[in-house]
């Protein structure tokens, strides 16, 4: 683990890990609220926002893309709510209509406009470009103490680290509200907790995670990280506090193992080229969920509980 690791692997692994944790934290609550699909929806609806931001500014820069994506996510949330309330349609269907339409619009705009000069295409949107986020100026571990080298770290690392820190802070600050309102919304409202605003805030937080992660790792990993680590974590414990820790551990494990397998796995089996890191990270998180389904101590919990209680 020498200079080459720091130069080529350290930053992509860190970015992948921060992205995975930033998505997994709100994912825990989305799953318990049976809104897991909303993470999926968000990762799709940000595409037209990013494309429109690019068309207006003409450059692929972080801030306009983030603003465009956030705007698209908010438009989507409002559209979903509007369709659900005005049309009296169940939330899943309203979400499905909005996110496929907006994603399709994003693809159409992308195709019809000249974005060939820049690295903004459908493949990038799906897969991200984790492998390219390397730290060229690094010469070894000592570069972590060298201000000149640190200044050349990829922008994506700082951005996703800040997004991850914000999401961790929000989860800690609003912990009691999130727990009470996710378990029993009516009781939370009776206590004076603004449950509706909290639910909206959770979706906005998920949107921030999706946008920050999307930019670096694409929408495939975003979908997987919202759902797989929290779902696997739920099978490991019966306490929400422990579930959060498990989900962070699974997210980290997926990011690290996924990156290593993508980069070196094919070589072990005699292959020559690495495979997509984002795809492999999502695949590893899926395998972890599968293992948790088979061996997790709290799988099939409802049926067991009822039998015990009746006995």
Which residues are at the interface with other proteins (CB under 8 A)? Answer: 32, 88, 173-174, 176-177, 179-180, 182-184, 186-187, 189-193, 234, 237-240, 242-243, 301-302, 304-305, 308-310
Shortest CB 88 distance to other proteins, Å: 8
The nearest distance, CB 32 to other proteins, in angstroms, is 7
Number of Cβ atoms within 10 Å of the Cβ of 105:
16
**Do the beta carbons of residue 19 and residue 159 sit within 8 Å?**
no
Min dist. Cβ of residue 36 to other proteins (A): 14
d(CA 308, CA 44): 43
Is the Cβ–Cβ distance between 143 and 137 less than 8 Å? yes
Residue 116 burial (C-beta neighbours within 10 Å; 0-12, 13-18, 19+):
exposed
**Which of the 8 DSSP states describes residue 271?**
-
Cβ closest to other proteins, residue 183 vs residue 264: 183
- CA–CA gap between residue 25 and residue 105 (Å, rounded): 29
Nearer to other proteins, 231 or 281 (CB): 231
Smallest separation (angstroms) from other proteins to the CB of 181: 10
Contacts with 140 (C-beta within 8 Å, 6 or more apart), sequence order: 2, 3, 6
Cα–Cα dist 126/123, whole Å: 5
* DSSP conformation class of 151: T
- Closest to other proteins by CB, 8 vs 174, is 174
Indicate the residue among 145 and 302 with the shorter CB distance to other proteins: 302
Using the minimum distance from each CB to other proteins, give the nearer residue, 136 or 187.
187
Least distance to other proteins from the beta carbon of 171, Å?
13
Distances (CA, A) of 35 to 175, 183, 297, 299, 311: 18, 13, 24, 20, 34
Closest contact distance (angstroms) between CB of 30 and other proteins is: 14
Q: 137 vs 179, which CB is nearer to other proteins?
A: 179
Q: What is the 3-state secondary structure (H, E, C) of 207-218?
A: HHHHHHHHHHHH
Closer of 142 and 306 to other proteins (Cβ): 306
Helix axes 91-112, 62-87, angle to 10 degrees: 140
Nearest distance in Å: CB 275, other proteins: 35
Give the integer Cα–Cα distance in Å for 199 and 182. 9
Which residue, 59 or 191, has its beta carbon nearer to other proteins? 191
- Smallest separation (angstroms) from other proteins to the CB of 95: 20
């Amino acid at each position: 683990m020498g200079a080459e690791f720091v130069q080529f692997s350290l930053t992509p692994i860190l970015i992948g890990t921060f992205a995975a944790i930033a998505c997994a934290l709100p994912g825990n609550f989305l799953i318990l609220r049976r809104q897991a699909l909303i993470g999926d929806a968000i990762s799709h609806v940000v595409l037209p926002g990013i494309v429109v931001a690019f068309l207006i500014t003409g450059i692929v820069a972080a801030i306009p893309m983030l603003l465009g994506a956030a705007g698209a996510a908010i438009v989507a949330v409002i559209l979903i709510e509007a369709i659900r309330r005005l049309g009296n349609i169940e939330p899943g269907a309203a979400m499905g209509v909005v996110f496929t339409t907006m994603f399709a619009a994003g693809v159409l705009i992308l195709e019809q406009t000249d974005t060939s000069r820049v690295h903004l295409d459908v493949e990038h949107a799906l897969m991200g470009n984790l492998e390219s986020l390397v730290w060229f100026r690094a010469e070894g571990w000592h570069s972590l103490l060298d201000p000149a080298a640190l200044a050349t770290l990829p922008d994506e690392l700082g951005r996703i680290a800040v997004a991850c820190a914000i999401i961790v802070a929000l989860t800690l600050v609003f912990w009691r509200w999130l727990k009470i309102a996710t378990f029993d919304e009516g009781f939370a409202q009776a206590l004076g907790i603004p449950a509706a605003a909290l639910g909206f805030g959770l979706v906005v937080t998920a949107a921030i995670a999706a946008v920050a992660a999307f930019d670096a790792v694409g929408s495939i990993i975003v979908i997987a990280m919202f759902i797989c680590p929290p779902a696997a974590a739920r099978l490991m414990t019966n306490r929400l506090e422990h579930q959060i820790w498990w989900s962070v551990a699974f997210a980290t494990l997926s990011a690290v193992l996924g990156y290593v397998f993508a980069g070196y796995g094919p070589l072990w089996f005699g292959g020559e080229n690495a495979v997509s890191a984002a795809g492999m990270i999502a695949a590893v998180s899926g395998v972890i969920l599968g293992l948790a389904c088979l061996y997790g101590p709290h799988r099939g919990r409802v049926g067991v509980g009822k039998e015990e209680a009746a006995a």
